[in-house]
Amino acid sequence: MLDKSRLDARGAGDAALGRRQRIVGRTTLPATYTAPMIDLSGKSAVVTGGSRGIGRAIVLRLAEQGADVCFSYRGNIEAADTVLAQVGAIGRRRRAVQADATDPASADTVVKAALEEFGKVDILVNNAGITRDDLIMRMSPEAFREVLETNLFGAFYATKAVTRPMLKARSGRIINITSVSGQAGQMGQANYSAAKAGLIGLTKATARELASRGITCNAVAPGFVETELTSGLPDELKQQIIERTPLARFATVEEIAYAVAFLASEEAAYITGQVLAVDGGLVMM
Ligand code: NDP
């Protein structure tokens, strides 16, 4: 937390010396002051699909920045327990809820658990996602539906579930994890590309609908990241992706988590309805 008395004292000192002042929120800071960025102390967050991969990195990053975290997972209890222990070691309150993102009632359960545990939800990260890749001519309607239901419907259900507490608090941060596939389309991913493109539309509609109550909604669009989701990609395809990526590598999960933490912070208060690509320059829009 900012030490206000110290800042005021420094600001007054600078004013006496006639130095240039700038206004940050309600605190007058000297122009040279460097704020500790991304301070999430006292905030509480809900992360869907927080037991593995990018979601796990997001849970740990938000906790490192000071937030208490409640996360959902689908079935991997062992992975969820490991993350709970890691958040505990960081010193934050935590809760894990086994809840299928495709079930509207489960979204309410997760949000209710966070409210019981922390009394509020300041941050929602819609991260739970799956792929069921195939060419359109071979893709089953079930594979199409399952991917839409997890990646897109799941985000809608969770957003709906946090809306009431966030409206009441007149503040909130909603961050949706979309993908370059939703921005540019990807062969063999008609279902996933459609879901992630839909998530971008949902992000913008949510941003417009909730802005007047101080709630922002943004999306992070990762390029290719080393997780279990991408571990099955053929080596040849991985090599092609690396060659097409200006920064010439896959992202780390931590690089995605930092972008999420920024969008969850006070520093991002004037950013809403945006898609932040964290993709090594793969898709420049
Ligand atoms: P992983 O497969 O590594 O992890 C997925 C996580 O989501 C797990 O915690 C899993 O829980 C959970 N999950 C999956 N389905 C459900 C469900 N129905 N209900 C609740 N939780 C669920 O995936 P990634 O970390 O790679 O992906 C995370 C997000 O990032 C996804 O939205 C994905 O589309 C997106 N993304 C990933 C990219 C990549 O290259 N990896 C690139 C761009 C976007 P459990 O452990 O119980 O199975």
Q: Which of 73, 133, 249 to mutate to test the pocket of ligand 1 (most atoms within 8 A of CB)?
A: 73
CA distance 194 to 202: 12
* Length, in residues, of the chain: 285
Q: What is the pLDDT of residue 33?
A: 63
98 three-state secondary structure: strand
CA distance 93 to 111: 15
Checking DSSP bridges between strand 21-24 and strand 27-30, what pairing results, if any?
antiparallel
Q: Which atom in ligand 1 lies closest to the alpha carbon of residue 57?
A: 25
Ligand 1 cavity residues, CB under 6 Å? 48-55, 72-76, 79, 100-102, 127-130, 150-151, 177, 179, 222, 224-225, 227-230
Model pTM score: 0.90
Q: What is the pLDDT of residue 70?
A: 98
146 within 8 A of 187, measured Cβ to Cβ: no
> Does residue 178 carry a pLDDT above 80?
yes
Confidence of residue 247 (pLDDT cuts 50, 70, 90): very high
Q: Is 95 left (phi over 0), alpha (psi -120 to 50) or beta?
A: beta
Q: What is the pLDDT of residue 232?
A: 86
